[in-house]
Amino acid sequence: MRNNRSKPRPRSGKAKLWAGACILLLFAAVSLAAAQIAPYPKNDIDFEPWLVPSAVHLLGTDSYGQDVFSQLVYGTRTSFLVGILAGLITTIIGVTVGVTAGFYRRWVSDALMFLVDLLLIIPIMALMIILASFLPSMGLTSIILVIGLLSWLYMARSIRSQTLSERQRGYVEAARVAGMSDGSIMRREILPNLYPIILANLVSVTTQAVLAEAGLSFLGIGDPKSVSWGTILALAHANNAIMYDAWWWIVPPGLATALFCFGFILIGNGSLERFRYKRGASQQ
Which of residues 22, 52, 108, 238 is near other proteins by CB under 8 A? 238
Regarding 118 and contact with other proteins (CB under 8 A), the answer is: yes
Burial of 284 (0-12, 13-18, 19+ CB in 10 A): exposed
Q: Is 156 an interacting residue with respect to other proteins (CB under 8 A)?
A: no
Whole-angstrom Cα distance, residue 276 to residue 12? Answer: 8
DSSP-derived secondary structure for 90-123:
HHHHHHHHHHHHHHS-HHHHHHHHHHHHHHHTS-
Contact 200, 24 (CB under 8 A): no
3-class secondary structure, 187: helix
In the complex with other proteins, which residue's Cβ is closer, 60 or 189?
Answer: 60
Q: Is 137 in the site for other proteins (CB under 8 A)?
A: yes
13 touches other proteins (CB under 8 A): no
3-state secondary structure (DSSP) of residue 67: strand
By CB under 8 A, name the one of 13, 60, 102, 215 that touches other proteins: 215
Q: Candidates 25-33, 110-118, 168-176, 183-191 — which segment interacts with other proteins by CB under 8 A?
A: 110-118
Binding of other proteins by 164 (CB under 8 A) = no
Phi, psi of 61 (to 5 degrees): -125, 165
Interface residues with other proteins (CB under 8 A)?
Answer: 1, 3, 6-8, 43, 45, 49-50, 63-65, 114, 117-118, 120-123, 125-127, 129-131, 133-134, 136-139, 207, 211, 214-215, 218-225, 230, 233-235, 237-240, 242-244, 250, 254, 257-262, 265-266
